[in-house]
A and B are shown apart, each in its own frame.
Chain A
Amino acid sequence: MSMTRSVKSVKSPTSTTPVTPARAATPLADRKLLKLARPFIIIIALIVTWQIVVSVTGAPKYMLPAPYDVWLALVQRHAVLLDHAGYTIAETVIGLFAGAALGALAAMPMALFSPIRFWLMPILLVSQAIPFFAIAPLLVLWLGFGMASKIAMAALIIFFPVTVAFFDGLSRTEPGWLDLARTMGTNRWRMLTHIRLPAALPAFASGFRVATAVSPIGAIIGEWVGSSKGLGYLMLHANARVQIDMVFACLLILCAFSITQYFIVDRLLRQLLPWQPDSLAKHD
Protein backbone atom coordinates (compact mmCIF):
# COMPACT_ATOMS: atom_id res chain seq x y z
CA MET A 1 0.00 0.00 0.00
CA SER A 2 2.62 2.44 1.12
CA MET A 3 4.92 1.20 -1.62
CA THR A 4 2.44 1.86 -4.37
CA ARG A 5 1.80 5.27 -2.90
CA SER A 6 5.46 6.14 -2.75
CA VAL A 7 6.00 4.80 -6.26
CA LYS A 8 3.06 6.79 -7.45
CA SER A 9 4.26 9.93 -5.79
CA VAL A 10 7.63 9.55 -7.43
CA LYS A 11 6.18 8.50 -10.73
CA SER A 12 3.61 11.22 -11.14
CA PRO A 13 6.05 14.12 -11.49
CA THR A 14 8.49 12.06 -13.63
CA SER A 15 8.06 14.31 -16.59
CA THR A 16 9.72 17.17 -14.70
CA THR A 17 11.73 15.75 -11.77
CA PRO A 18 14.62 14.02 -13.53
CA VAL A 19 15.41 17.20 -15.37
CA THR A 20 15.25 19.69 -12.52
CA PRO A 21 17.65 18.10 -9.98
CA ALA A 22 20.22 17.45 -12.68
CA ARG A 23 19.85 20.99 -13.87
CA ALA A 24 20.10 22.38 -10.36
CA ALA A 25 23.07 20.19 -9.45
CA THR A 26 25.32 20.96 -12.37
CA PRO A 27 25.36 24.74 -12.11
CA LEU A 28 26.02 24.46 -8.36
CA ALA A 29 29.05 22.22 -8.90
CA ASP A 30 30.06 24.42 -11.78
CA ARG A 31 29.82 27.50 -9.66
CA LYS A 32 31.98 25.97 -6.91
CA LEU A 33 34.56 24.88 -9.45
CA LEU A 34 34.47 28.29 -11.08
CA LYS A 35 34.96 29.99 -7.73
CA LEU A 36 38.06 27.91 -7.06
CA ALA A 37 39.38 28.30 -10.58
CA ARG A 38 38.63 32.00 -10.96
CA PRO A 39 41.91 33.41 -9.58
CA PHE A 40 43.91 31.01 -11.75
CA ILE A 41 41.87 31.89 -14.82
CA ILE A 42 42.49 35.59 -14.15
CA ILE A 43 46.24 35.03 -13.64
CA ILE A 44 46.54 32.92 -16.80
CA ALA A 45 44.54 35.45 -18.81
CA LEU A 46 46.83 38.25 -17.61
CA ILE A 47 49.97 36.27 -18.46
CA VAL A 48 48.61 35.41 -21.92
CA THR A 49 47.68 39.06 -22.57
CA TRP A 50 51.13 40.11 -21.40
CA GLN A 51 52.79 37.58 -23.74
CA ILE A 52 50.63 38.73 -26.65
CA VAL A 53 51.57 42.37 -26.02
CA VAL A 54 55.27 41.44 -25.94
CA SER A 55 54.99 39.34 -29.14
CA VAL A 56 52.90 41.84 -31.08
CA THR A 57 54.91 44.95 -30.17
CA GLY A 58 58.23 43.13 -30.28
CA ALA A 59 59.31 45.12 -27.23
CA PRO A 60 62.93 44.43 -26.27
CA LYS A 61 63.68 42.71 -22.98
CA TYR A 62 65.01 45.95 -21.40
CA MET A 63 61.67 47.66 -22.05
CA LEU A 64 59.09 44.96 -21.41
CA PRO A 65 60.33 41.47 -20.54
CA ALA A 66 58.21 38.47 -21.49
CA PRO A 67 56.54 36.39 -18.72
CA TYR A 68 59.17 33.68 -19.16
CA ASP A 69 62.03 36.17 -18.60
CA VAL A 70 60.44 37.31 -15.36
CA TRP A 71 59.96 33.69 -14.33
CA LEU A 72 63.66 33.08 -14.94
CA ALA A 73 64.57 36.14 -12.84
CA LEU A 74 62.33 34.83 -10.05
CA VAL A 75 63.89 31.38 -10.11
CA GLN A 76 67.52 32.34 -10.64
CA ARG A 77 67.67 35.20 -8.15
CA HIS A 78 65.18 33.95 -5.60
CA ALA A 79 67.68 34.20 -2.74
CA VAL A 80 68.22 37.95 -3.27
CA LEU A 81 64.54 38.57 -3.89
CA LEU A 82 63.40 36.70 -0.77
CA ASP A 83 66.02 38.41 1.37
CA HIS A 84 64.82 41.87 0.34
CA ALA A 85 61.15 40.86 0.41
CA GLY A 86 61.61 39.88 4.05
CA TYR A 87 62.48 43.47 4.96
CA THR A 88 59.58 44.95 3.04
CA ILE A 89 57.13 42.46 4.54
CA ALA A 90 58.38 43.12 8.06
CA GLU A 91 58.12 46.90 7.57
CA THR A 92 54.61 46.57 6.14
CA VAL A 93 53.26 44.27 8.83
CA ILE A 94 54.77 46.24 11.73
CA GLY A 95 53.60 49.50 10.12
CA LEU A 96 50.11 48.06 9.66
CA PHE A 97 49.71 47.15 13.30
CA ALA A 98 51.39 50.32 14.57
CA GLY A 99 49.21 52.50 12.32
CA ALA A 100 46.04 50.63 13.26
CA ALA A 101 46.85 50.85 16.96
CA LEU A 102 47.53 54.58 16.69
CA GLY A 103 44.33 55.05 14.66
CA ALA A 104 42.27 53.21 17.27
CA LEU A 105 43.89 55.23 20.07
CA ALA A 106 43.13 58.50 18.28
CA ALA A 107 39.54 57.59 17.38
CA MET A 108 38.45 56.69 20.91
CA PRO A 109 39.06 60.04 22.66
CA MET A 110 37.72 61.82 19.58
CA ALA A 111 34.45 59.93 19.78
CA LEU A 112 34.17 60.28 23.54
CA PHE A 113 35.14 63.88 24.19
CA SER A 114 33.92 66.57 21.82
CA PRO A 115 36.71 69.10 22.69
CA ILE A 116 39.32 66.55 21.63
CA ARG A 117 37.35 65.94 18.45
CA PHE A 118 37.30 69.64 17.57
CA TRP A 119 41.07 69.94 18.07
CA LEU A 120 42.16 66.66 16.59
CA MET A 121 39.97 66.52 13.48
CA PRO A 122 41.65 69.52 11.71
CA ILE A 123 45.09 68.10 12.53
CA LEU A 124 44.00 64.80 11.09
CA LEU A 125 42.77 66.45 7.91
CA VAL A 126 45.98 68.48 7.57
CA SER A 127 47.98 65.30 7.96
CA GLN A 128 46.10 63.93 4.97
CA ALA A 129 46.64 67.05 2.88
CA ILE A 130 50.43 66.60 2.99
CA PRO A 131 51.55 64.33 0.14
CA PHE A 132 53.29 61.30 1.58
CA PHE A 133 56.03 61.39 -1.04
CA ALA A 134 57.00 64.78 0.36
CA ILE A 135 57.37 63.53 3.92
CA ALA A 136 59.30 60.40 3.03
CA PRO A 137 62.70 62.17 2.71
CA LEU A 138 62.10 63.90 6.04
CA LEU A 139 61.29 60.62 7.75
CA VAL A 140 64.48 59.13 6.34
CA LEU A 141 66.40 62.15 7.59
CA TRP A 142 64.90 61.90 11.07
CA LEU A 143 64.68 58.15 11.50
CA GLY A 144 67.57 56.98 9.34
CA PHE A 145 68.02 54.59 6.40
CA GLY A 146 66.90 51.60 8.42
CA MET A 147 63.47 50.04 8.90
CA ALA A 148 62.20 52.68 11.34
CA SER A 149 61.55 55.31 8.67
CA LYS A 150 59.67 52.78 6.48
CA ILE A 151 57.56 51.52 9.35
CA ALA A 152 56.69 55.13 10.18
CA MET A 153 55.75 55.75 6.55
CA ALA A 154 53.50 52.66 6.39
CA ALA A 155 51.94 53.54 9.75
CA LEU A 156 51.19 57.08 8.58
CA ILE A 157 49.35 55.86 5.49
CA ILE A 158 47.35 53.34 7.52
CA PHE A 159 46.53 55.70 10.36
CA PHE A 160 43.95 57.75 8.50
CA PRO A 161 41.55 55.12 7.12
CA VAL A 162 41.58 53.28 10.44
CA THR A 163 40.95 56.43 12.49
CA VAL A 164 38.12 57.63 10.28
CA ALA A 165 36.39 54.27 10.07
CA PHE A 166 36.67 53.58 13.80
CA PHE A 167 35.61 57.11 14.74
CA ASP A 168 32.59 56.72 12.48
CA GLY A 169 31.70 53.41 14.07
CA LEU A 170 32.08 54.81 17.58
CA SER A 171 29.94 57.85 16.92
CA ARG A 172 27.14 55.90 15.21
CA THR A 173 26.15 53.56 17.99
CA GLU A 174 22.49 52.53 17.73
CA PRO A 175 20.77 55.21 19.88
CA GLY A 176 18.37 52.63 21.34
CA TRP A 177 21.27 50.72 22.87
CA LEU A 178 22.53 53.87 24.53
CA ASP A 179 19.02 54.66 25.84
CA LEU A 180 18.71 51.17 27.22
CA ALA A 181 22.13 51.40 28.86
CA ARG A 182 21.17 54.74 30.42
CA THR A 183 18.00 53.33 31.98
CA MET A 184 20.11 50.47 33.34
CA GLY A 185 22.26 52.98 35.20
CA THR A 186 25.68 52.61 33.60
CA ASN A 187 28.65 54.93 33.49
CA ARG A 188 30.57 56.34 30.53
CA TRP A 189 33.38 53.83 30.75
CA ARG A 190 31.19 50.71 30.84
CA MET A 191 29.00 52.12 28.09
CA LEU A 192 32.20 52.41 26.02
CA THR A 193 33.64 48.99 26.76
CA HIS A 194 30.40 47.00 26.64
CA ILE A 195 28.40 48.80 23.96
CA ARG A 196 30.14 51.43 21.89
CA LEU A 197 33.45 49.62 21.36
CA PRO A 198 32.05 46.24 20.34
CA ALA A 199 29.42 47.99 18.22
CA ALA A 200 32.18 49.89 16.39
CA LEU A 201 34.34 46.84 15.73
CA PRO A 202 32.80 46.01 12.33
CA ALA A 203 33.52 49.59 11.22
CA PHE A 204 37.06 49.30 12.56
CA ALA A 205 37.40 46.06 10.63
CA SER A 206 36.43 47.66 7.32
CA GLY A 207 38.94 50.47 7.94
CA PHE A 208 41.56 47.87 8.77
CA ARG A 209 40.80 46.00 5.54
CA VAL A 210 41.38 49.15 3.48
CA ALA A 211 44.55 49.82 5.47
CA THR A 212 45.77 46.30 4.80
CA ALA A 213 45.35 46.78 1.07
CA VAL A 214 47.35 50.03 1.00
CA SER A 215 49.91 49.15 3.68
CA PRO A 216 52.76 48.03 1.34
CA ILE A 217 52.69 51.43 -0.43
CA GLY A 218 54.17 53.25 2.56
CA ALA A 219 57.02 50.79 2.96
CA ILE A 220 57.84 50.90 -0.76
CA ILE A 221 57.83 54.72 -0.89
CA GLY A 222 60.14 54.77 2.13
CA GLU A 223 62.49 52.35 0.44
CA TRP A 224 62.54 54.35 -2.79
CA VAL A 225 63.53 57.51 -1.00
CA GLY A 226 66.43 56.13 0.92
CA SER A 227 67.37 52.61 1.92
CA SER A 228 69.80 49.81 1.33
CA LYS A 229 67.32 46.96 1.70
CA GLY A 230 63.83 45.92 0.67
CA LEU A 231 61.95 45.35 -2.57
CA GLY A 232 61.63 49.10 -3.21
CA TYR A 233 65.40 49.45 -3.03
CA LEU A 234 65.87 46.38 -5.23
CA MET A 235 63.46 47.76 -7.84
CA LEU A 236 65.24 51.11 -8.05
CA HIS A 237 68.60 49.37 -8.22
CA ALA A 238 67.44 46.97 -10.97
CA ASN A 239 65.72 49.74 -12.89
CA ALA A 240 68.93 51.78 -12.97
CA ARG A 241 70.75 48.76 -14.42
CA VAL A 242 67.97 48.09 -16.95
CA GLN A 243 67.20 44.73 -15.31
CA ILE A 244 63.51 45.17 -16.02
CA ASP A 245 62.85 41.45 -15.48
CA MET A 246 63.99 41.96 -11.87
CA VAL A 247 61.70 44.96 -11.49
CA PHE A 248 58.80 42.81 -12.61
CA ALA A 249 59.85 39.99 -10.32
CA CYS A 250 59.81 42.43 -7.38
CA LEU A 251 56.36 43.66 -8.40
CA LEU A 252 55.02 40.13 -8.63
CA ILE A 253 56.29 39.27 -5.16
CA LEU A 254 54.80 42.47 -3.81
CA CYS A 255 51.41 41.67 -5.39
CA ALA A 256 51.45 38.12 -4.07
CA PHE A 257 52.29 39.38 -0.59
CA SER A 258 49.62 42.11 -0.64
CA ILE A 259 46.91 39.68 -1.70
CA THR A 260 47.97 37.04 0.82
CA GLN A 261 48.12 39.60 3.60
CA TYR A 262 44.66 40.89 2.69
CA PHE A 263 43.08 37.45 2.71
CA ILE A 264 44.69 36.48 6.01
CA VAL A 265 43.48 39.71 7.64
CA ASP A 266 40.02 39.34 6.12
CA ARG A 267 39.70 35.75 7.35
CA LEU A 268 40.92 36.70 10.83
CA LEU A 269 38.48 39.61 11.09
CA ARG A 270 35.60 37.40 10.02
CA GLN A 271 36.45 34.87 12.69
CA LEU A 272 36.88 37.51 15.37
CA LEU A 273 33.63 39.31 14.56
CA PRO A 274 31.17 36.60 13.61
CA TRP A 275 28.15 38.83 14.24
CA GLN A 276 29.04 41.56 11.79
CA PRO A 277 26.76 42.07 8.81
CA ASP A 278 28.14 39.94 6.05
CA SER A 279 25.41 39.82 3.43
CA LEU A 280 27.78 40.03 0.46
CA ALA A 281 29.80 36.97 1.35
CA LYS A 282 26.68 34.86 1.84
CA HIS A 283 25.48 35.49 -1.70
CA ASP A 284 28.90 34.96 -3.17
Chain B
Amino acid sequence: MTDTDTKPPLTGHLQASSGQNRTSFDVHLRHACVEFNSTRLFHNLSLDLGAGSFTCLLGPSGVGKSTLLRFLAGLVGHDAASGTVTCSDGKALNDRVAYMAQQDLLLPWRSVRENVVLGAVLRGEKPDLARADHLIAEVGLQKARHMRPAELSGGMKQRAALARTLMEDRPVVLMDEPFSALDPLNRMRIQDLAARVLHGKTVLLVTHDPLEALRVGHKVMVLQGSPATLSDAVIPDGHIPRDITDPVILRHQAELLQQLGALSSQGDRSDLEEASQ
Protein backbone atom coordinates (compact mmCIF):
# COMPACT_ATOMS: atom_id res chain seq x y z
CA MET B 1 0.00 0.00 0.00
CA THR B 2 2.64 2.44 1.07
CA ASP B 3 4.91 1.09 -1.66
CA THR B 4 2.46 1.80 -4.41
CA ASP B 5 1.80 5.14 -2.80
CA THR B 6 5.41 6.24 -2.71
CA LYS B 7 6.52 4.96 -6.11
CA PRO B 8 4.29 6.94 -8.47
CA PRO B 9 4.92 10.29 -6.76
CA LEU B 10 8.64 9.63 -7.20
CA THR B 11 8.41 9.33 -10.97
CA GLY B 12 5.87 12.11 -10.91
CA HIS B 13 8.38 14.27 -9.12
CA LEU B 14 11.02 13.41 -11.72
CA GLN B 15 8.73 14.36 -14.53
CA ALA B 16 7.64 17.48 -12.75
CA SER B 17 11.19 18.65 -12.20
CA SER B 18 12.29 17.99 -15.78
CA GLY B 19 9.02 19.42 -17.04
CA GLN B 20 9.79 22.56 -15.12
CA ASN B 21 13.00 22.85 -17.08
CA ARG B 22 11.21 22.46 -20.36
CA THR B 23 9.87 25.93 -19.74
CA SER B 24 13.38 26.72 -20.86
CA PHE B 25 14.74 29.98 -22.14
CA ASP B 26 17.17 31.34 -24.69
CA VAL B 27 20.53 32.52 -23.45
CA HIS B 28 22.07 35.59 -25.07
CA LEU B 29 25.67 36.60 -24.66
CA ARG B 30 26.47 40.13 -25.83
CA HIS B 31 29.62 42.28 -25.98
CA ALA B 32 31.80 39.58 -24.51
CA CYS B 33 35.41 40.68 -24.11
CA VAL B 34 37.81 38.25 -22.49
CA GLU B 35 41.52 38.54 -21.93
CA PHE B 36 43.74 35.65 -21.04
CA ASN B 37 47.44 36.09 -20.24
CA SER B 38 47.15 39.65 -21.65
CA THR B 39 45.95 38.27 -25.01
CA ARG B 40 42.55 39.44 -26.16
CA LEU B 41 40.60 36.25 -26.88
CA PHE B 42 37.28 37.87 -27.82
CA HIS B 43 36.12 41.33 -28.54
CA ASN B 44 32.43 42.14 -28.71
CA LEU B 45 31.45 38.54 -29.26
CA SER B 46 27.80 37.53 -29.36
CA LEU B 47 26.40 34.06 -28.90
CA ASP B 48 22.84 32.79 -28.71
CA LEU B 49 21.82 29.48 -27.20
CA GLY B 50 18.39 28.38 -28.33
CA ALA B 51 15.97 27.22 -25.65
CA GLY B 52 16.00 23.45 -25.25
CA SER B 53 18.50 22.81 -28.03
CA PHE B 54 22.10 21.68 -28.49
CA THR B 55 24.51 24.36 -29.66
CA CYS B 56 27.92 22.97 -30.65
CA LEU B 57 31.01 25.10 -30.74
CA LEU B 58 33.95 23.99 -32.88
CA GLY B 59 37.33 25.59 -33.27
CA PRO B 60 41.07 25.04 -33.23
CA SER B 61 42.65 24.45 -29.84
CA GLY B 62 43.71 27.58 -28.00
CA VAL B 63 41.11 29.77 -29.72
CA GLY B 64 39.19 30.24 -26.48
CA LYS B 65 36.29 27.79 -26.74
CA SER B 66 36.76 26.64 -23.17
CA THR B 67 37.17 30.19 -21.92
CA LEU B 68 33.89 31.19 -23.55
CA LEU B 69 32.16 28.27 -21.88
CA ARG B 70 33.78 29.02 -18.54
CA PHE B 71 32.69 32.65 -18.90
CA LEU B 72 29.08 31.52 -19.28
CA ALA B 73 29.51 29.25 -16.27
CA GLY B 74 30.65 32.24 -14.22
CA LEU B 75 34.12 30.77 -13.73
CA VAL B 76 36.12 33.61 -15.32
CA GLY B 77 36.96 36.48 -13.01
CA HIS B 78 35.49 39.91 -13.75
CA ASP B 79 38.95 41.49 -13.95
CA ALA B 80 39.67 39.49 -17.12
CA ALA B 81 36.24 39.44 -18.71
CA SER B 82 33.25 41.63 -19.43
CA GLY B 83 29.99 41.12 -21.26
CA THR B 84 26.33 40.66 -20.56
CA VAL B 85 24.49 37.39 -20.30
CA THR B 86 20.71 37.64 -20.47
CA CYS B 87 18.05 34.97 -20.43
CA SER B 88 14.78 35.30 -22.31
CA ASP B 89 12.81 34.76 -19.11
CA GLY B 90 14.42 37.81 -17.56
CA LYS B 91 16.20 35.98 -14.72
CA ALA B 92 19.94 35.63 -14.24
CA LEU B 93 21.82 32.63 -15.63
CA ASN B 94 23.78 32.12 -12.41
CA ASP B 95 22.81 29.01 -10.45
CA ARG B 96 20.92 27.63 -13.43
CA VAL B 97 23.98 26.07 -15.07
CA ALA B 98 25.43 22.57 -14.84
CA TYR B 99 29.06 22.18 -15.91
CA MET B 100 30.77 19.13 -17.39
CA ALA B 101 34.46 19.26 -18.19
CA GLN B 102 36.85 17.23 -20.30
CA GLN B 103 38.09 15.45 -17.18
CA ASP B 104 35.40 13.54 -15.35
CA LEU B 105 36.21 15.47 -12.12
CA LEU B 106 34.95 12.58 -10.03
CA LEU B 107 36.22 12.74 -6.47
CA PRO B 108 38.38 9.64 -5.97
CA TRP B 109 37.34 9.12 -2.35
CA ARG B 110 33.62 9.03 -3.13
CA SER B 111 31.70 6.18 -4.77
CA VAL B 112 29.86 6.74 -8.06
CA ARG B 113 26.61 7.34 -6.19
CA GLU B 114 28.28 9.70 -3.72
CA ASN B 115 29.77 11.60 -6.64
CA VAL B 116 26.42 11.85 -8.38
CA VAL B 117 24.84 13.49 -5.33
CA LEU B 118 27.83 15.81 -4.80
CA GLY B 119 25.93 18.97 -5.72
CA ALA B 120 23.32 18.46 -3.00
CA VAL B 121 26.03 17.66 -0.46
CA LEU B 122 27.95 20.82 -1.40
CA ARG B 123 24.82 22.92 -0.97
CA GLY B 124 24.07 21.30 2.39
CA GLU B 125 20.87 19.71 1.07
CA LYS B 126 19.65 16.21 1.73
CA PRO B 127 20.59 14.16 -1.35
CA ASP B 128 17.75 12.48 -3.23
CA LEU B 129 19.26 8.99 -3.38
CA ALA B 130 16.32 7.45 -5.20
CA ARG B 131 16.67 9.94 -8.02
CA ALA B 132 20.46 9.43 -8.05
CA ASP B 133 19.99 5.67 -8.43
CA HIS B 134 17.47 6.27 -11.20
CA LEU B 135 19.93 8.45 -13.12
CA ILE B 136 22.83 6.04 -12.48
CA ALA B 137 20.67 3.31 -13.98
CA GLU B 138 19.82 5.55 -16.91
CA VAL B 139 23.51 5.95 -17.78
CA GLY B 140 23.97 2.20 -17.31
CA LEU B 141 26.07 2.16 -14.16
CA GLN B 142 23.69 0.51 -11.68
CA LYS B 143 26.17 -2.31 -10.99
CA ALA B 144 29.00 0.17 -10.43
CA ARG B 145 27.21 2.65 -8.21
CA HIS B 146 29.16 1.68 -5.08
CA MET B 147 32.54 1.56 -6.83
CA ARG B 148 35.16 4.25 -6.56
CA PRO B 149 36.26 6.07 -9.75
CA ALA B 150 39.60 4.24 -9.79
CA GLU B 151 37.73 1.00 -10.49
CA LEU B 152 35.91 2.40 -13.53
CA SER B 153 36.94 2.59 -17.18
CA GLY B 154 37.21 5.94 -18.97
CA GLY B 155 33.78 5.58 -20.55
CA MET B 156 32.18 4.61 -17.25
CA LYS B 157 33.75 7.63 -15.55
CA GLN B 158 32.31 10.01 -18.13
CA ARG B 159 28.93 8.33 -17.80
CA ALA B 160 29.12 8.87 -14.04
CA ALA B 161 30.02 12.52 -14.69
CA LEU B 162 27.00 12.75 -17.00
CA ALA B 163 24.76 11.34 -14.28
CA ARG B 164 26.17 13.91 -11.85
CA THR B 165 25.44 16.66 -14.39
CA LEU B 166 21.88 15.39 -14.83
CA MET B 167 21.42 15.15 -11.08
CA GLU B 168 21.92 18.91 -10.89
CA ASP B 169 18.77 19.23 -13.01
CA ARG B 170 19.69 22.65 -14.33
CA PRO B 171 18.02 24.05 -17.46
CA VAL B 172 21.36 24.99 -19.03
CA VAL B 173 24.19 22.47 -19.44
CA LEU B 174 27.67 23.59 -20.44
CA MET B 175 29.95 20.80 -21.69
CA ASP B 176 33.64 21.28 -22.42
CA GLU B 177 34.91 18.49 -24.70
CA PRO B 178 33.44 15.94 -22.33
CA PHE B 179 33.93 12.93 -24.61
CA SER B 180 37.21 13.76 -26.31
CA ALA B 181 39.31 11.39 -24.20
CA LEU B 182 37.19 8.37 -25.12
CA ASP B 183 37.72 5.82 -27.87
CA PRO B 184 35.45 6.24 -30.93
CA LEU B 185 32.99 3.51 -30.02
CA ASN B 186 32.53 4.71 -26.44
CA ARG B 187 32.31 8.27 -27.70
CA MET B 188 29.45 7.43 -30.04
CA ARG B 189 27.61 5.53 -27.33
CA ILE B 190 27.88 8.38 -24.86
CA GLN B 191 26.88 10.92 -27.54
CA ASP B 192 23.67 8.97 -28.07
CA LEU B 193 23.15 8.77 -24.34
CA ALA B 194 23.80 12.49 -23.84
CA ALA B 195 21.48 13.43 -26.71
CA ARG B 196 18.75 11.30 -25.14
CA VAL B 197 19.09 12.30 -21.48
CA LEU B 198 19.77 15.98 -22.12
CA HIS B 199 16.77 16.31 -24.43
CA GLY B 200 14.87 19.49 -23.68
CA LYS B 201 17.78 21.23 -22.00
CA THR B 202 19.68 24.20 -23.36
CA VAL B 203 23.10 22.73 -24.05
CA LEU B 204 26.37 24.29 -25.15
CA LEU B 205 28.82 21.60 -26.23
CA VAL B 206 32.39 22.62 -26.95
CA THR B 207 34.17 20.06 -29.08
CA HIS B 208 37.01 19.71 -31.56
CA ASP B 209 35.27 16.94 -33.48
CA PRO B 210 33.06 18.19 -36.38
CA LEU B 211 31.31 14.84 -36.61
CA GLU B 212 30.40 14.92 -32.93
CA ALA B 213 28.98 18.42 -33.39
CA LEU B 214 26.94 17.34 -36.43
CA ARG B 215 25.75 14.21 -34.68
CA VAL B 216 24.20 15.91 -31.65
CA GLY B 217 24.01 19.65 -32.44
CA HIS B 218 20.87 21.50 -33.49
CA LYS B 219 23.21 24.30 -34.40
CA VAL B 220 26.95 24.10 -35.11
CA MET B 221 29.24 27.13 -35.00
CA VAL B 222 32.95 27.63 -35.54
CA LEU B 223 34.98 29.93 -33.34
CA GLN B 224 38.07 31.19 -35.12
CA GLY B 225 40.61 33.97 -35.37
CA SER B 226 42.28 36.25 -32.86
CA PRO B 227 40.33 37.94 -31.35
CA ALA B 228 37.95 35.09 -32.10
CA THR B 229 34.70 35.50 -34.00
CA LEU B 230 31.85 33.09 -34.56
CA SER B 231 30.94 31.75 -37.97
CA ASP B 232 27.35 31.58 -39.21
CA ALA B 233 25.57 28.64 -37.71
CA VAL B 234 25.29 25.38 -39.64
CA ILE B 235 21.87 23.95 -38.93
CA PRO B 236 21.76 20.36 -40.14
CA ASP B 237 18.48 18.57 -40.78
CA GLY B 238 17.39 15.35 -39.21
CA HIS B 239 16.65 13.80 -35.90
CA ILE B 240 19.27 13.85 -33.15
CA PRO B 241 21.47 11.82 -32.75
CA ARG B 242 22.00 12.02 -36.50
CA ASP B 243 23.21 9.26 -38.74
CA ILE B 244 26.83 10.10 -39.48
CA THR B 245 26.78 8.01 -42.65
CA ASP B 246 24.17 10.36 -44.12
CA PRO B 247 25.77 12.05 -47.19
CA VAL B 248 24.34 15.43 -46.14
CA ILE B 249 26.03 15.18 -42.75
CA LEU B 250 29.27 14.07 -44.38
CA ARG B 251 29.11 17.06 -46.71
CA HIS B 252 28.58 19.34 -43.74
CA GLN B 253 31.58 17.70 -42.10
CA ALA B 254 33.70 18.36 -45.16
CA GLU B 255 32.61 22.02 -45.12
CA LEU B 256 33.42 22.38 -41.45
CA LEU B 257 36.78 20.69 -41.87
CA GLN B 258 37.53 23.01 -44.75
CA GLN B 259 36.57 25.96 -42.62
CA LEU B 260 38.83 24.74 -39.84
CA GLY B 261 41.58 23.78 -42.30
CA ALA B 262 41.32 27.03 -44.25
CA LEU B 263 41.84 28.75 -40.95
CA SER B 264 45.22 27.13 -40.41
CA SER B 265 46.47 28.24 -43.87
CA GLN B 266 45.02 31.76 -43.76
CA GLY B 267 45.52 32.51 -40.15
CA ASP B 268 49.14 31.40 -39.78
CA ARG B 269 49.86 34.57 -37.93
CA SER B 270 47.43 33.85 -35.13
CA ASP B 271 48.57 30.25 -34.99
CA LEU B 272 52.16 31.38 -34.69
CA GLU B 273 51.19 33.76 -31.95
CA GLU B 274 49.50 30.94 -30.09
CA ALA B 275 52.49 28.71 -30.53
CA SER B 276 54.89 31.33 -29.27
CA GLN B 277 52.96 31.76 -26.05
Contacts and interface: CB of A to CB of B under 8 A. Distances in A.
Interface of A: 174, 176-177, 179-187, 190-191, 194-195, 198-199, 201, 273-275
B227 interface: no
A184 B168 contact: yes
For B70, B108, B124, which residue has the most chain A Cβ atoms within 10 angstroms?
B108
B95 A185 contact: yes
A182 to B, nearest CB: 6
Nearest to B148: A275
Given A180-B118, A187-B124, 9 more contacts: A180-B101, A183-B73, A183-B74, A184-B123, A185-B119, A190-B122, A190-B124, A194-B122, A198-B109
B98 A183 contact: yes
Given A184-B122, A190-B122, A174 B98 contact: no
A179 B70 contact: yes
Contacts of A199: 107
Given A179-B70, A190-B124, A275-B150, A184 B119 contact: yes
B121 interface: yes
A122 B124 CA distance: 36
B275 interface: no
Contacts of B73: 179, 183
A185 B123 CA distance: 6
Chain A at the B interface: mostly helix, strand, loop or mixed? helix
B18 to A, nearest CB: 18
Given A275-B108, A275-B109, A183 B99 contact: yes
B97 interface: yes
11 contacts: A179-B101, A182-B74, A183-B99, A184-B122, A184-B168, A190-B122, A194-B118, A198-B107, A198-B109, A274-B148, A275-B108
A183 B122 CA distance: 10
Interface string B13-38: 00000000000000000000000000
B99 A186 contact: no
B130 interface: no
A186 B105 contact: no
Contact of A183 (B97, B107, B109, B124): B97
Nearest to B104: A176
Contacts of A198: 107, 109
B75 interface: yes
Contacts of A190: 121-124
A186 B95 CA distance: 10
B123 A183 contact: no
Nearest to A184: B119
Given A182-B75, A185-B95, A176 B122 contact: no
Nearest to B95: A185
B220 to A, nearest CB: 24
B108 A176 contact: no
A181 B122 CA distance: 7
Which of B74, B95, B121 gathers most chain A CB within 10 Å? B121
A258 to B, nearest CB: 30
B270 interface: no
Contact of A176 (B97, B101, B119): B101
Nearest to B120: A184
Interface string B225-263: 000000000000000000000000000000000000000
Contacts of B98: 183
Given A182-B75, A183-B97, A177 B107 contact: yes
